[in-house]
Chains A and B, each alone.
Chain A
């Protein structure tokens, strides 16, 4: 008995010493905000975190890093491929500790602005000017006060994914471009015994996308920009967006139990219901085919029956016609990183890298020379709409940042549950935005 107790104490003591040792070690490595000056040609190591951690995508990115090393003598790229959620958790921890990787993913909007304010990101407007001009249409969500902080490499738009076979069986020809047209589609689907839509309101953001789109349709982009800048959401178009949504919810198009349905996990999730033919449509982003493939046994999702059409227009809307809502990922560079890291981020947007990226269907390339390389037919349909859009509004929760975005999404979920009015949603956004001032 005595021996085990003592052994345990020694282990505990050892752990304490180890803790103290790491605590001391931790202090020596801090270097946030210090610019590392490097002589040209001197050896540099840059760290790169990405989330293509399986199959061809991972191999491709390893090759990209190797190519860059070969073309830039003395530069070593340390690649860390992680599962997406893991990467986000590790990034949060790295930001707190002040040792973020040199090149990493940003989603833009309020989150990026908060990182800029905390001094975590490098202003790359000058060194990456050429690249920025190539992808100009997608830059707005990644700029703060006119300075650019990240290079978007994949931008998608949200729209309705649908099952072509179910549409055909229900006698639906073409796809709707107005709300009334969409309601007709609901009626026809219901008449044929199919639930029209699934929505993962349990995760809130999929439900919130409806409200965002209505805002983009009902409010002009100037109104929206002014509302955000002045923290004043009193323009009636915001309430109108909620009223439009109530009207849609009243037609009861959603799957049974949508209030607790998750977005993407499992066969009874919103994506799962679409993938297994239980519903006809779902409002989702460019990730949907990939998610559906993971939710079907044969790994093909809806296969050839996958169709896509953009969010319909609303009669009398103030918003720009054919404006789309979406978002995506961008490469950002840490404030303390060497110049080679900016070069590497720019290299990732180059014609060559983006074409390979598109050929492997790893995302929707922002470099126009790569648009033609996307092979998936449904995705290239989406790309046509994206490239033709006069403006692409970032997802409102990303645009406004996690704090306002979270309050907004919660209130929209309440609207879906019939527990909040269109005015309540606007009030929630207003008060969360005021709390941020």
Chain B
């Protein structure tokens, strides 16, 4: 018995040590930081209790950032789910150029986020950017400050770029899910004279449920932690129109050196993500595990 325990300890120890060093300690440090006023150097001595949390939660920029995150969570799912599903169903049919089309759809997802961000930033430049030039060619004019520079459009523009970037992931997951639908069901449906549309609605989509729910979870967590694309496209601007919780905390931390406030914001982000993740698991993903049990 002790031998087995020693073996387990031996194999688990390295992973555990890495987890402690790179996950647990930083999380604990962030919590500790959030209770102090600290500039990033010198000893952490100025204990302020929960003052940093009060300042974060009463800051309009942060509450707006939370709303932006939620808009992106909902917007991403509302845009990518139907689009991804439609494309996956289309690409699942045998047709000419299927492999090529799949690749094209998937390429943006493989592209490094920073590169994709810089490319879109250049495309969206007002006056000199490709998109403005194309609009001008057909007699239209983009907004004066550009799509990324106009507070009313900036968040929606970011959402469009995110959809372009992450649609590929949805499509590839749905395609994989489609492979798991047993062929016999289609054959049986055909024998019963079901139309293509009926087959999709009654068989394919319900059986794709677990895949869609898992994708929804990944998409939600990604949207809550959104940082790179926003940082490159707008830096959270203009006029804080695209600030997310992550850009807020980086701005407060590394830019303004208010590490206490950044620590508090990161704890709030962690709690929001945790609560939403648990809720999602409890109310949406649980259906899948229950089905398994049954």
Stretch of B11-19, B90-98, B273-281 contacting A (4+ beta carbons < 8 Å): B11-19
Query: CB-CB contacts of B27-43 with A at 8 A, as 1s and 0s?
Result: 00000000000011111
Structural contact, B125 and A257, CB atoms closer than 8 A? yes
Structural contact, A414 and B127, CB atoms closer than 8 A? no
Given contacts A15-B18, A258-B145, A260-B146, contact A120 B42 (CB under 8 A): yes
Structural contact, B18 and A16, CB atoms closer than 8 A? yes
**A318 interface residue, CB < 8 Å from B?**
no
Query: CB-CB contacts of A106-120 with B at 8 A, as 1s and 0s?
Result: 000000001101111
A268 to B149, CA, bound (A): 14
**A417 interface residue, CB < 8 Å from B?**
yes
**B258 interface residue, CB < 8 Å from A?**
yes
**B221 interface residue, CB < 8 Å from A?**
no
Taking CB atoms, residues of chain B closer than 8 Å to A95 are 40-42
**B251 interface residue, CB < 8 Å from A?**
yes
Q: Which of A138-194 contact B (CB under 8 A)?
A: none
**B238 interface residue, CB < 8 Å from A?**
yes
Taking CB atoms, residues of chain B closer than 8 Å to A417 are 151, 237-239
Taking CB atoms, residues of chain A closer than 8 Å to B184 are none
A16 to B150, CA, bound (A): 49
A255 to B252, CA, bound (A): 29
Inter-chain residue pair count (beta carbon < 8 A): 109
User: B40, B144, B148, B238: which contacts A256 (Cβ < 8 A)?
Assistant: B144
A79 to B112, CA, bound (A): 35
**A413 interface residue, CB < 8 Å from B?**
yes
A407 to B252, CA, bound (A): 9
**B128 interface residue, CB < 8 Å from A?**
yes
Structural contact, A257 and B14, CB atoms closer than 8 A? no
Given contacts A117-B42, A119-B42, A202-B235, contact A257 B13 (CB under 8 A): no
Q: Which of B225-244 contact A (CB under 8 A)?
A: 234-235, 237-240
A258 to B125, CA, bound (A): 10
CB closest residue in chain B, given A255: B127
User: A204, A258, A266, A410: which contacts B149 (Cβ < 8 A)?
Assistant: A258
**B256 interface residue, CB < 8 Å from A?**
yes
Measured CB to CB, the closest approach of chain A to B148, in angstroms, equals: 5
**A13 interface residue, CB < 8 Å from B?**
yes
**B289 interface residue, CB < 8 Å from A?**
no
Task: Report how many residues on chain B are interfacial, defined by Cβ distance under 8 Å.
Answer: 40
A95 to B77, CA, bound (A): 43
Given contacts A256-B146, A257-B125, contact A419 B11 (CB under 8 A): no
Q: Which of A1-33 contact B (CB under 8 A)?
A: 9, 12-13, 15-16, 19-20
CB closest residue in chain B, given A120: B41
Q: Which of B14, B17, B234, B251 gathers most chain A CB within 10 Å?
A: B14
Taking CB atoms, residues of chain A closer than 8 Å to B14 are 9, 12-13, 15-16
A352 to B144, CA, bound (A): 52
Taking CB atoms, residues of chain A closer than 8 Å to B41 are 92, 95-96, 114-115, 118, 120
Given contacts A96-B41, A119-B42, A260-B234, contact A13 B13 (CB under 8 A): yes
Taking CB atoms, residues of chain A closer than 8 Å to B127 are 255-257
CB closest residue in chain A, given B257: A402
Structural contact, B144 and A413, CB atoms closer than 8 A? no
Measured CB to CB, the closest approach of chain B to A208, in angstroms, equals: 13
Query: CB-CB contacts of A385-423 with B at 8 A, as 1s and 0s?
Result: 000000000000000001101110010011001010000
Structural contact, B151 and A419, CB atoms closer than 8 A? yes
Q: Which of A20, A117, A403 gathers most chain B CB within 10 Å?
A: A403
Structural contact, B40 and A96, CB atoms closer than 8 A? yes
**A71 interface residue, CB < 8 Å from B?**
no
**B103 interface residue, CB < 8 Å from A?**
no
Taking CB atoms, residues of chain A closer than 8 Å to B61 are 410
Structural contact, B238 and A260, CB atoms closer than 8 A? yes
Taking CB atoms, residues of chain B closer than 8 Å to A402 are 255-257
**A259 interface residue, CB < 8 Å from B?**
yes
10 A-B pairs within 8 Å (CB atoms) are namely A16-B17, A96-B40, A96-B41, A202-B235, A255-B127, A256-B146, A257-B127, A260-B237, A403-B256, A405-B256
Give the 3 A-B residue pairs with the shortest CB-CB distance, closest first. Answer: A118-B42, A257-B126, A260-B149
